[in-house]
Each structure stands twice: as C-alpha cells, then as structure tokens.
C-alpha cells in the first residue's frame, strides 16, 4: 500500500499541471465521498461535506464561505459528473499544451472557474426568474474551468480539427460553438447554474485567446498570486552566520614562528635526505611557502 501512495505522489510531483489538476479533482471527490459515507453510517448530516465545498448563489452565505469560490471548481457530485469533466480537461488540456505552457493552463483553469462563479452569482441575484431559488442554489464542478480551456484553444487555433465518432473530422471551433449554444438554450433548465457557469468560462477562454494574440496574458496575475501562496508553505533555509575573531598580535607572531620552524625542519630534511624523503604533507607545505 505504501508503494502505491509513493508512486501516486511521485507521479503527481512529476506529471505536470494537467496531471496535477486531474489528481486534485479525483482526490477531492474520493475524500468527499468517503466522508459522506462515514456520516451516513453514523446517521449524521451528510450534506455537511458539500455545504462546505460548494459555491452558494446567495451573497450572504458566500461571505461566510469565501473559500468556496475556489473549492467548488474541484468538487463533483457523482462519478459521471467528474468522469466527463476530467475527460474533457485531459483531451483539451493536451491540445492546449501544444501551444501554451503549464502555468497558463493552471492559471486559465482558476480564472475560468472564478469567472463562471461570478456570472452564476450575478445571474441568480439579478434575474427575477431565479429569485425564489437563490437561497437554495449552489454550484459545483470543474465545467466552467474546462470550458475556459476548450474555448481558449478553439478560438486561438480556429482551424484545428479532431476526429469524432459518427461525425468524422470537425473543427474545435464548431464543437465549442455547439456546446455554448446548448448552454444558452438550456439556461432556464434544472441545471441553470451549471449552464451559466459554462458561459462564464467560455467567455474567459475567448478573452484569453484574443488577448494573447496581442501579447497580453491574463493568467500572469493569478499565477503571481499562486506563487505567493505556494511560497508561503515552503520553509526558507536558515542562514547561519559565524563570526571569526581577529588574531591578536601575540597569536599572529606565535603562528608565524611555528610556520617558520616547520619550514626550517622541512628544508633541513630536504638538504640531508633529498626531496623524495619528504611526505606529501611536507611537500605541500614547502610548495605553499614558496608561493608566499
């Protein structure tokens, strides 16, 4: 068992940001599910786990759980929910990394998730249609983050095409537009919050693709924040300062006299027995003295 965890830990460390994002999502899902099962076995409130991780639409609740604007994008309700999100993240994340780096992928994942969350909250508090449900509504899932990556690469490389079963070769741009059309048409469905968040992520991806062509990278700011947070958890090496007391005149004169006596003994040995009779240490001392 230790070997399995060690292997997973090593793969997480060396796998790159795409692998790390997938591992984090899977890890949160497993821990959440196990905790829910444990609560059920003890007849406790199983909703405590999701209440702690999911993003509430009601601003008052959000003020008491501000961390959920991040945790929600790594949390999933069911196996199928996380399966499809991770498949899309893997497929389109691989394509994204053909043209951009891992820091941009991770930064866009976070920004897309935040944008989806903000649009979700605004929509539920602005449109009268959601007025009766705003207190009870919440959001979970990586969909908004994934949509940001999908639309970023689709609008950056509009001619990039993939092969789809039953459909043949199709451009990513058309696939992205098809998915956003579905979200627009189902914005008042039972999963309205999810579709709204998708739109927020998609708009973020389009913005990233447009700005990057002009030399502006919207992920720079979030990556600087991430760097600060990561560095806070790292232990800084302690600096060891040593002080060397300067020699007194007496100590200096004593040391020089000892060095002179040692050299005199070596020279005397050299004179009577030859160079080969000197030890390695004596040869080194003689060589060092000749350079002074």
Residues 224-241: tens digit of each pLDDT: 998 888 888 676 666 666
pLDDT of amino acid 247: 66
Helix, strand, coil: what percent of the chain each, to 5? 70, 5, 25
The per-residue pLDDT for 244 is 62
Residue with tokens 């451009």: 171
Evaluate the CA torsion angle 221, 107, 55, 124 in order and state its sign: positive
- For residue 68, give every residue at least 6 positions away whose Cβ sits within 8 Å of its Cβ, in sequence order, or none: 52, 53, 54, 55, 56, 62
Least confident of 14-18, 107-111, 219-223: 14-18
Residue closest to 150 by CA, chosen among 172, 129, 126, 118? 172
pLDDT at residue 271, rounded to an integer: 72
- Give the DSSP per-residue string, 160-191: -EEEETTTEEEEHHHHHHHHHHHHHHTTTSTT
Which pLDDT score, from 0 to 100, does residue 108 have? 97
Q: Which of 82-86, 152-156, 249-253 has the lowest mean pLDDT?
A: 249-253
- Residues 160-170 have pLDDT tens digits of 988 887 778 89
pLDDT band at 250 (very low <50, low <70, confident <90, very high): low
More confident residue, 136 or 290: 136
Q: Is 287 a residue whose pLDDT tops 80?
A: no
Percentage above 70 pLDDT, the chain: 90
Count of all residues that appear for the chain in the document: 292
What homologous superfamily does CATH list for 2-232?
Rhomboid-like (1.20.1540.10)
For residue 273, how far is the Cα from the chain centroid?
A: 71
Structure confidence at residue 233 (pLDDT): 67
Cα 278 from chain centre: 62
Taking only the tens place, the pLDDT of each residue in 34-80 is 999 999 999 999 899 999 999 999 999 999 999 999 999 999 999 99
For 12, 59, 167, 180, 265, the CA distances from 201, given in Å and listed in that order, are: 26, 20, 26, 10, 84
Query: Greater confidence, 164 or 223?
Result: 223
Q: What is the DSSP letter of 55?
A: E
Q: Which residue has the higher pLDDT, 274 or 70?
A: 70
Model-level pTM?
A: 0.78
Q: How far apart are CA 52 and CA 2, in angstroms?
A: 30
**pLDDT number for residue 238:** 66
Residue 182, pLDDT score: 95
- Tell me if 107 sits within 8 A of 222, measured CB to CB: yes
Residue 102 has pLDDT above 90, yes or no: yes
- Write out the DSSP string of 103-147: HHHHHHHHHHHHHHHHHHHHHHHH-GGGTTTTTT-EE-SSHHHHH
Q: For residue 66, what pLDDT is reported?
A: 97
Compute the distance between CA of residue 109 and CA of residue 56 in angstroms, rounded to an integer: 20
Residue 124 CA to residue 135 CA, distance in Å, equals 9
User: What is the structure's pLDDT at 71?
Assistant: 97
Q: Is the pLDDT of residue 129 over 80?
A: yes
Which residues are CB-neighbours of 266 under 8 A, at least 6 positions away?
278, 282, 285, 286
Q: Is the pLDDT of residue 125 over 90?
A: yes
The number of helix segments (H) and strand segments (E) in the chain equals 13, 4
Mean pLDDT of the chain: 89
Q: Burial of 217 by CB count in 10 Å (0-12 exposed, 13-18 middle, 19+ buried)?
A: middle
Q: Give me the residue spans of the domains in the chain.
A: 2-232, 249-291
């Amino acid at each position: 068992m230790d070997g399995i965890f060690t292997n997973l830990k090593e793969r997480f460390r060396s796998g790159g940001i795409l692998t790390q994002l997938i591992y984090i999502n899977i890890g949160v899902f497993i821990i959440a599910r196990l905790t829910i099962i444990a609560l059920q076995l003890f007849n406790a409130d199983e909703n405590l786990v999701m209440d702690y991780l999911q993003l509430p639409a009601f601003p008052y609740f959000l003020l008491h759980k501000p961390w959920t604007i991040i945790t929600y994008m790594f949390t999933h309700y069911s196996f199928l929910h996380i399966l499809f999100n991770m498949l899309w993240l893997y497929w389109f994340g691989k394509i994204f990394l053909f043209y951009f780096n891992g820091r941009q992928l991770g930064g866009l994942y976070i920004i897309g998730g935040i944008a989806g969350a903000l649009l979700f909250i605004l929509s539920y508090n602005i449109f009268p249609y959601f007025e009766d449900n705003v207190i009870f509504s919440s959001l979970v899932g990586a969909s908004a983050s994934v949509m940001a990556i999908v639309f970023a690469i689709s609008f950056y490389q509009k001619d990039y095409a993939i092969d789809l079963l039953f459909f043949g070769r199709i451009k990513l741009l058309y696939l992205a537009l098809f998915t956003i059309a579905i979200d627009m048409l189902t914005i008042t469905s039972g999963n309205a919050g999810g579709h709204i968040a998708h739109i927020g992520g998609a708009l973020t991806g389009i913005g990233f693709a447009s700005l990057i062509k002009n030399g502006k990278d919207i992920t720079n700011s979030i990556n600087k924040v991430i760097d600060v947070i990561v560095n806070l958890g790292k232990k800084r090496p302690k600096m060891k300062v040593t002080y060397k007391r300067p020699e007194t005149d007496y100590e200096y004169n004593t040391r020089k006299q000892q060095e002179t006596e040692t050299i005199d003994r070596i020279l005397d040995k050299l004179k009577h027995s030859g160079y080969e009779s000197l030890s390695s240490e004596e040869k080194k001392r003689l060589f060092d003295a000749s350079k002074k």
